[in-house]
Structure 1
Amino acid sequence: MRIPVLFYHKIGYPPPEAKLVNLYVTPENFYKQLKYLKLRGFRTINCETYFKIRRNLMNPPYKPILITFDDGFKNNYTYAFPILKKFGFIATIFIVVGDIGKKVRWEESEEDLPEEILSWEEIKEMHRYGIDFQSHGFTHRHLDALPLEEVEEEIKNSKRILEENLEKKIEFFAYPYGSYNEKVKEILKKHGFKAGFTTRKGKERDLYEIRRVGIKYKHKLWKFIRYVEWKY
């Protein structure tokens, strides 16, 4: 069974000086998208349920969909979280663990504005509701360009810190910039990760390169509908 997997970055309003506008989805558009999913009977699931369905370990609910966010920006709490709660939906946030509570600007967005990352207080509140937090690495670097020892530290440390603070197993990973290779996948397996999510396009070869559809600022509702409905 093929399940739609969506990914977002920022829910909010891009400032006039913002360069990477397509990383945003306005709260109004996000609301319309979730309203459509609700009216059409979609059921949001977490990564563990997604994994079990893909492995034929459980029967799927009616029209399952996995909503994910990359990075863990504070606007996921400010704007996305209230809208998710309004519709009774859950989502997964792949968070950059080493930047929790900080204001950051990563290497490929040097010309853009710094953004705040969620605090532990916000993370724990969302976690109690049912938002699924998983790893997006420790520092947000291209893992396929790092020495293997550094890849191991990125993966191992992000997993350990999340598990200690949330008291749950961390078993799913989204590659920063969607970048990975076979050695990165092997390190994920070594540390007990069940699956890896990317932003790359193309055919999946296994559960360590799960493709997702990016929802962007410019997308109209009809395009969103096409993305989620073609799987069915």
Structure 2
Amino acid sequence: MCGQQMKSTIADIPRHSKTPVPILCYHSIDTTGSLLSTSPRVFSNHMLHLKRHGYTTLTFGDLVDRLSAKTLMPPKLAVITFDDGYRNNREIALPILKRYGFTATFFVVTDAVGKRASWIERDFSTVLGWAREGGHTGRLSENHRKIFKSRNAYLASLDKTALRKELEKLVLVGHFPLMSFSELSILSSHGFEIGAHSHTHPFLAELTENDVYKEARRSKEMLQNRLRPPVTSFCYPSGNYSTNVAHIVATLGYSGACTTERSSVSPSNHNIYALPRLLMHDSYDAHKFRLCLSRWFPLYVFAQIIWKRVKQ
């Protein structure tokens, strides 16, 4: 290729082709104020901001397809995801999404469809009991401490009173109803993507490879059998995964998977089976939401990490 042809080719590449893509991660849309909750007002404000600033949306699966094909991205693109499948996603979030013409991906725990998010109390019951009794060291073994810290560093950093309050709000969310297969079918028929979020919401990196395989396979098969469209997107429960877990997910035919690592997706430098997401909740007011969509957000996250270390 001659120099003039090369210059022409480079000039034809849109400058926005390397713009980071934020994947927003919501859970329950409610007013409890838990770490997994975003109020209807805050969620509506987020969507209004995206609309006013010219954002378009893709499902997670469509984003993965574009990344795999190295397709150029529009300058303002966002992906909206919901974890666990709370019924309030359909009752509250769906009308707001439709109002602004946005699409989304709903990641579902298949064993809990039409039930409750029982894994919240299952995973935190021991620590909650310990916190309720004043945090006496005899109630919590060193092994429990290590597991709790590895699973949720933020909660583990709280004092006993704050920890008890946060866990009690989370347990309350765990009693909210989850969508049924008929409700998920309606979402799917309207073009929303239904992705797999495992079968029982375990910490996958703590399981044997065989159990990881069963969790990811059963979730995929159940959704495909009940809803028909192929299930190609996977979400690691609690963002917990390892290289081996990601490999198993890939071998089962998933096109991509997402974590809860706080960053936007770089179209030019990414791992298709470990795409980061931005965990949303009520602390994301208008200012912080604008910040998380900007190129400066990684610097903000880094500064937070340094500040926490300094305070320690």
Partner of 1:222: 287
- Using the TM superposition, give the Cα deviation of residue 42 of structure 1 relative to its aligned residue in structure 2, in angstroms: 0.4
Question: Is contact 1:96–1:137 with CA below 8 Å preserved after alignment?
Answer: yes
Q: Residue 218 of structure 1: SS of its match in structure 2?
A: coil
In 1, Cα distance between equivalents of 2:177 and 2:66: 34
Change (3 A) 1:231 1:55: farther
Partner of 1:200: 261
- Using the TM superposition, give the Cα deviation of residue 53 of structure 1 relative to its aligned residue in structure 2, in angstroms: 2.6
Question: Is contact 1:6–1:215 with CA below 8 Å preserved after alignment?
Answer: yes
Q: RMSD of the alignment, in Å? A: 2.0
Question: After alignment, is 123-132 or 36-45 more displaced?
Answer: 123-132
Of Structure 1 and Structure 2, the greater helix share is in 2
Q: Which amino acid aligns with 2:286?
A: L
Cα deviation 1:42-87 (Å, max 9, x = unaligned): 0010123211332344333341110111111111111111111111
Q: Aligned pairs, how many?
A: 227
Structure of higher CA gyration radius: 2
Q: Among residues 22, 27, 39, which one is paired with 1:4 in the alignment?
A: 22
Q: Residue 115 of structure 1: SS of its match in structure 2?
A: coil
Q: Among residues 25, 33, 39, which one is paired with 2:38 in the alignment?
A: 25
Partner of 2:89: 76
Cα deviation 1:189-222 (Å, max 9, x = unaligned): 1101111100134797611111111111222111
TM-score w.r.t. the length of structure 1 is 0.91
Question: Is contact 1:198–1:212 with CA below 8 Å preserved after alignment?
Answer: yes
In 2, Cα distance between equivalents of 1:231 and 1:53: 24
TM-score w.r.t. the length of structure 2 is 0.69
4+ aligned runs moved over 4 Å, structure 1: 201-205
Partner of 1:132: 193
Q: Does 1:122 align with 2:135?
A: no
Within 5 A, what are the aligned runs for 1:1-232? 1=18, 2-14=20-32, 21-106=34-119, 107-110=122-125, 111=168, 112-113=171-172, 114-201=175-262, 206-230=271-295
Question: Is contact 1:45–1:90 with CA below 8 Å preserved after alignment?
Answer: yes
Partner of 1:17: none
In 2, Cα distance between equivalents of 1:78 and 1:125: 12
In 2, Cα distance between equivalents of 1:23 and 1:48: 23
Percent identical pairs in the alignment equals 29
Residue segments in structure 1 that go unaligned for 5+ positions in a row = 15-19
In 2, Cα distance between equivalents of 1:22 and 1:179: 17
Cα deviation 1:120-165 (Å, max 9, x = unaligned): 1211111112211100000000000011111111000000011112
